[in-house]
């Protein structure tokens, strides 16, 4: 018997007996099974392999385009949605670390692993500016050749598995300057905001793009600019003149920006004198009209309700100046890429948040309209306090466990969408140590389908396959924080990705369609529906509520259907009637009639002919009867999906996948209740990490009974985490339905 066969026999025994394969457990690990799958061999005997959803070669039908409805289409016009991830697997030379993996991941195997689980897009968040640590004498026009080679290799590997690529080549946070480059402001300054107006940096940036995109990729023989497997190029990551970081621009760069503001004001009003007159003589400390410079007021003032008189006019002009500065950079760069470099992939201008999405969010999105696609980065999770909370989980850390099922306003795809344009979330995830990751893929698949979000990119992985619990950096005893490759999230991909990508849940018509004159944007008027400030665990101590910045329509509208905005359109075009009847007594019904969110009980159900399921805190709601499937669970929390594998409705399908995800924690994980008092906020109930545990993951045993009204199904098979059949599951049948108890030790059962 081979090693793989012996392992399958052991798993099968555990499944049949309903026992964990690990005989000795700590008290806190009771009621769980050990998650330690072998490397996937991609055996053709697997009963679950979604590689078939992808094209034989990414881009085989041509370049991804924007369709007439604002969604994505393939080169042949077929609609396409992206189940996407951020990956660093194969990035840079492998270095074995004391607490990290000892062998390098195989990029080709990684691509095949992702495709099997439903992924059809990866994002490469890299930095192509010169690597001054490795090359201290590099010229500003040099490119990081090792980074470019990594991008080239990854594009080639993904392409072969039908996976498209998004390239994110620049982030101000990683930008470093050399003294010899003579950048105004010096080598020690941060790069936040500079790309939008510093001409020296812009010239270098265009040179980096040219070297990245137009030189032939040696691994494919095709330049990225002409490679249809490259679906999207982002101009830059997480930077904006409408975020708090704009106030950190000082010295020579501040003076340059203020000079540009003076030129803008003079052009807007006819002269500086007329601008000051239009502002009713409103002056600010630092104004120097004699030097052709006007001070920029602190960002905080742009986040407040507009004042009266001259200050209001000045702030409106400053807002418009910031917006048009960004939009002009975006437009010039898009023109350079498309006209001068011949770049054919779609282009996204930015993906960031603002200092106040109620006041400035639409201003930011308007600046993106120079490109083809809109995007944002949104994370999901609770509070996390600790000395290394930006990147690691340590013993002694304190955190809260926050579930979107109980707080649907925190759903990361509650997004205002610009009419006729695709919207993406290019970074997102249920961030550790929150613990409710199993709801993530379920909710993203459901509500992205409903609202037409074109793709959600899970962040992040550097692993070939599933990631075991391990050190965040390979040296410090800790648990990595920014990973989707755990059992409850990555293990939940197949059914969610299949339902979302196959269009098994309807896209609804807009429930709110808003018209916004540009003057409303500059005056920072609150829109009809406010998109919450995107939560970032690295920057935010607490999740902020809309408060005084709430719109006329409550944010429950996002759960009812799409919320769209048309810029430079009269307010009279606004329609806000589609949401009202959808929310009552804490229950929000989607306009498609296929999704119901019950926040009071912590339950979301999806009910469509091809897919039915429930994500829930089951203690208050253990039984859920849907059209064709009944789920009954005594687990505290979990997410179950039944989805057709043959494209027939569940009531007639001859092949059904039932997927069930519960909570997972490292072996020996221990948390105790505490009170957490974030700075400037009231104390809340939370948890303290007493032990972040060790490998392997332990997954809470399934306590789920499933009934399907499809008597044509005659057998049920439990699969391992690689989709291989490992054990028969007892199936009760009668003339109307089949019923089974979900087995312990797996997340997948296929009925045939």
State mean pLDDT over 451-470: 98
Residues ≥6 apart with Cβ < 8 Å to 202: 195, 329
* CA–CA separation, 697 and 394 (whole Å): 17
Q: How many Cα neighbours within 13 Å face the side chain of 561?
A: 21
Q: Radius of gyration over alpha carbons of the chain, in Å?
A: 26
Q: What is the DSSP string of 660-711?
A: EE--EEEET-EEEEEEE--TTS--EEEEEEEE--EEEEEEEPP-EEEEES-T
Percent of the chain with pLDDT strictly greater than 90: 90
Q: How many Cα neighbours within 13 Å face the side chain of 70?
A: 20
DSSP state of 79: B
H/E stretch holding 621 reads none
* CA–CA separation, 247 and 111 (whole Å): 42
Q: Yes or no: say if 189 and 201 are a contact pair by the CB < 8 Å rule.
A: no
CA neighbor of 509 nearest in space, from 566, 451, 594? 451
In a domain, 86, yes or no: yes
pLDDT at 23: 38
* CA–CA separation, 565 and 590 (whole Å): 19
* CA–CA separation, 464 and 107 (whole Å): 7
pLDDT at 343: 98
Structure tokens at 121: 């897009």
* CA–CA separation, 449 and 506 (whole Å): 6
pLDDT one-digit tens code per residue, 250-267: 999 999 999 999 999 999
pLDDT at 1: 38
DSSP state of 380: B
Q: Yes or no: say if 399 and 480 are a contact pair by the CB < 8 Å rule.
A: no
pLDDT at 538: 60
pLDDT one-digit tens code per residue, 289-303: 999 999 999 999 999
Q: Yes or no: say if 559 and 590 are a contact pair by the CB < 8 Å rule.
A: yes
pLDDT at 575: 86
In a domain, 46, yes or no: no
pLDDT one-digit tens code per residue, 274-283: 999 999 999 9
Strand duo 716-719 + 704-708: pairing: unpaired
Q: Yes or no: say if 131 and 138 are a contact pair by the CB < 8 Å rule.
A: yes
* CA–CA separation, 106 and 148 (whole Å): 18
In a domain, 407, yes or no: yes
Give the torsion sign (CA, 51, 52, 57, 62).
Answer: negative
CA neighbor of 448 nearest in space, from 479, 419, 480, 417? 417
pLDDT at 27: 86
CA neighbor of 481 nearest in space, from 393, 398, 555? 393
Residue 177: count other Cβ atoms within 10 Å of its Cβ.
Answer: 22
pLDDT at 13: 40
Structure tokens at 17: 């007996």
Residue bearing tokens 């929390």: 637
DSSP state of 502: T
In a domain, 672, yes or no: no
pLDDT one-digit tens code per residue, 207-250: 999 999 999 999 999 999 999 999 999 999 999 999 999 999 99
First to last CA, the chain: 28
Q: How many Cα neighbours within 13 Å face the side chain of 514?
A: 25
CA neighbor of 83 nearest in space, from 56, 52, 112, 54? 54
Residue bearing tokens 């690597």: 131
Dihedral, 249, 253, 254, 260 alpha carbons, nearest 10: -130
pLDDT one-digit tens code per residue, 362-401: 999 999 999 999 999 999 999 999 999 999 999 999 999 9
Q: What is the DSSP string of 188-204?
A: TS--TTGGGT-HHHHHH
Give the torsion sign (CA, 516, 519, 520, 521).
Answer: positive
In a domain, 213, yes or no: yes
379 burial level (CB within 10 Å; 0-12, 13-18, 19+) = buried
pLDDT at 215: 98
Q: What band does 539 get if pLDDT is binned at 50, 70 and 90?
A: low
Lay out the sheet containing 725-729: strands in order across. 583-584, 587-589, 595-598, 603-607, 611-617, 637-644, 656-661, 748-751, 716-719, 725-729
Q: Over 90: is that where the pLDDT of 744 sits? A: yes
Percent of the chain with pLDDT strictly greater than 70: 95
Residues ≥6 apart with Cβ < 8 Å to 24: none
381: domain CATH number? 3.20.20.80
On the question of a cis peptide bond just before residue 175, with omega within 30 degrees of 0, the verdict is no
Q: Yes or no: say if 365 and 420 are a contact pair by the CB < 8 Å rule.
A: no
* CA–CA separation, 615 and 632 (whole Å): 12
Strand duo 121-125 + 164-168: pairing: parallel
Q: Which of 294-298, 401-405, 538-542, 554-558 has the lowest mean pLDDT?
A: 538-542
Q: Over 60: is that where the pLDDT of 476 sits? A: yes
Question: Model-level pTM?
Answer: 0.95
pLDDT at 541: 56
Q: Cα 208 to chain center, whole Å? A: 26
Residue bearing tokens 């339950």: 603
Structure tokens at 501: 């990508």
Beta bridge partners of 345: none
Q: Yes or no: say if 529 and 582 are a contact pair by the CB < 8 Å rule.
A: no
pLDDT at 551: 85
Q: Over 90: is that where the pLDDT of 514 sits? A: yes
Residues ≥6 apart with Cβ < 8 Å to 15: 718, 726, 727, 729, 743, 744, 745, 746
* CA–CA separation, 523 and 521 (whole Å): 5
pLDDT one-digit tens code per residue, 137-160: 999 999 999 999 999 999 999 999
CA neighbor of 604 nearest in space, from 365, 449, 364, 406? 406
pLDDT at 532: 85
Q: Over 60: is that where the pLDDT of 29 sits? A: yes
Helix (H, G, I), strand (E, B) or coil at 73: strand
State mean pLDDT over 514-534: 93
pLDDT one-digit tens code per residue, 409-432: 999 999 999 999 999 999 999 999
Helix (H, G, I), strand (E, B) or coil at 266: helix
In a domain, 448, yes or no: yes
Q: Yes or no: say if 165 and 155 are a contact pair by the CB < 8 Å rule.
A: yes
Residue 260: count other Cβ atoms within 10 Å of its Cβ.
Answer: 18
Q: Which of 17-26, 60-69, 113-122, 627-636 has the lowest mean pLDDT?
A: 17-26
Q: Over 60: is that where the pLDDT of 176 sits? A: yes
In a domain, 134, yes or no: yes
Residue bearing tokens 């990490």: 689
Give the torsion sign (CA, 678, 457, 370, 255).
Answer: positive
Q: What band does 691 get if pLDDT is binned at 50, 70 and 90?
A: very high
Residues ≥6 apart with Cβ < 8 Å to 742: 640, 658, 660, 702, 704, 705, 706, 749
Dihedral, 265, 271, 274, 280 alpha carbons, nearest 10: 30
Q: Cα 120 to chain center, whole Å? A: 14
In a domain, 739, yes or no: no
pLDDT one-digit tens code per residue, 75-86: 999 999 999 999
* CA–CA separation, 399 and 381 (whole Å): 9
State mean pLDDT over 708-716: 98
Tally of domains in the chain: 1
pLDDT averaged over every residue in the chain: 94
Helix (H, G, I), strand (E, B) or coil at 639: strand
DSSP state of 333: H
* CA–CA separation, 587 and 408 (whole Å): 11
Q: Which domain holds residue 195?
A: 62-92+105-242+330-463+479-499
């Amino acid at each position: 018997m081979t090693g793989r066969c012996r392992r399958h026999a052991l798993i099968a025994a555990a499944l049949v007996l309903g026992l964990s394969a690990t005989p000795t457990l700590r008290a806190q690990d009771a009621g769980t099974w050990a998650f330690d799958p072998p490397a996937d061999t991609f055996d053709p005997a697997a009963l679950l392999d979604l590689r078939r959803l992808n094209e034989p070669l990414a881009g085989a039908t041509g370049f991804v385009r924007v369709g007439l409805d604002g969604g994505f289409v393939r080169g042949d016009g077929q609609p396409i949605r992206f189940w996407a991830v951020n990956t660093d697997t194969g990035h840079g030379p492998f270095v074995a670390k004391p607490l990290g993996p000892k062998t390098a991941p195989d990029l080709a195997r990684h691509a095949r692993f992702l495709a099997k689980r439903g992924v059809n897009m990866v994002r490469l968040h890299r930095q192509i500016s010169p690597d001054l640590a490795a090359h201290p004498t590099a010229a500003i026009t040099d490119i990081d050749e090792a980074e470019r080679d990594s991008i080239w290799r990854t594009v080639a590997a993904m392409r072969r598995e039908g996976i498209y690529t998004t390239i994110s080549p620049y982030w101000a946070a990683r930008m470093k300057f050399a003294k010899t480059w003579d950048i105004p402001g010096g080598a020690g300054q941060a790069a936040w905001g500079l790309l939008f107006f510093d001409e020296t940096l812009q010239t270098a940036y265009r040179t980096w793009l040219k070297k990245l995109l137009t030189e032939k990729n040696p691994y494919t023989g095709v330049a990225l600019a002409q490679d249809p497997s490259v679906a999207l190029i982002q101009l830059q990551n997480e930077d904006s003149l409408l975020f708090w970081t704009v106030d950190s621009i000082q010295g020579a760069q501040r003076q340059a920006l203020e000079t540009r503001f003076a030129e803008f004001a003079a052009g807007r009003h006819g002269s500086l004198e007329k601008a000051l007159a239009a502002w009713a003589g409103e002056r600010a400390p630092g104004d120097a009209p004699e030097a052709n410079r006007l001070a920029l007021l602190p960002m905080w003032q742009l986040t407040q309700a507009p004042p009266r008189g001259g200050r209001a006019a000045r702030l409106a002009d400053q807002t418009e100046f910031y917006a048009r500065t960004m939009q002009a950079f975006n437009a010039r760069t898009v023109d350079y890429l498309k006209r001068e470099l011949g770049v054919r992939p779609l282009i996204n201008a930015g993906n960031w948040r603002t200092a106040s999405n109620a006041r400035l969010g639409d201003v930011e999105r308007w600046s993106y309209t120079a490109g083809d696609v809109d995007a944002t980065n949104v994370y999901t999770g609770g509070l996390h306090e600790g000395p290394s909370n930006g990147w690691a989980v340590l013993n002694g850390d304190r955190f809260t466990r926050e579930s979107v099922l109980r707080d649907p306003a925190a759903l990361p795809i509650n997004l205002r969408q610009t009419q006729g344009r695709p919207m993406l979330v290019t970074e997102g995830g249920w961030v550790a140590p929150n613990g409710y990751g199993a709801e993530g893929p379920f909710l993203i698949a459901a509500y992205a389908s409903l609202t037409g979000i074109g793709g959600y990119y899970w962040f992040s992985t550097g692993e070939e396959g599933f990631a075991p619990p391990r050190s965040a950096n390979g040296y410090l005893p800790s648990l990595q924080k920014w990973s989707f490759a755990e059992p409850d999230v990555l293990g939940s991909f197949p059914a969610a990705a299949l339902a979302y990508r196959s269009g098994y849940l309807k896209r609804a018509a807009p429930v709110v369609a808003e018209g916004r004159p540009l003057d409303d944007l500059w005056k920072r008027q609150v829109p009809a529906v406010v998109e919450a400030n995107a939560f970032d665990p690295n920057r935010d101590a607490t999740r902020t509520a809309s408060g005084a910045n709430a719109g006329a329509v409550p944010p429950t509208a996002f759960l009812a259907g799409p919320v769209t905005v048309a810029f430079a359109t009269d307010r009279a075009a606004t329609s806000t009637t589609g949401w009202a009847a959808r929310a009552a007594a804490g229950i929000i019904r989607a306009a498609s009639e296929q999704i119901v969110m019950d926040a009071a009980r912590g339950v979301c159900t999806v009910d469509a002919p091809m897919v039915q399921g429930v994500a829930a805190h089951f203690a208050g709601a253990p039984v859920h009867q849907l059209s064709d499937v009944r789920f009954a669970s005594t687990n505290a929390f979990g997410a179950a999906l039944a989805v057709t594998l043959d494209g027939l409705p569940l009531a007639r399908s001859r092949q059904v996948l039932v997927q069930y995800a519960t909570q997972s924690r490292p072996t020996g994980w221990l948390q105790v209740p505490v009170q957490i008092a974030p700075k400037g906020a009231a104390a809340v109930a939370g948890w303290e990490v007493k032990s972040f545990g060790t490998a392997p993951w332990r997954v809470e045993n399934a306590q789920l009974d499933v009934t399907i009204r499809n008597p044509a199904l005659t057998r049920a098979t439990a699969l391992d985490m690689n989709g291989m059949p490992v054990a028969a599951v007892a199936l009760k049948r009668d003339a109307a339905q089949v019923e089974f108890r979900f087995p312990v030790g797996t997340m997948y059962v296929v009925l045939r």
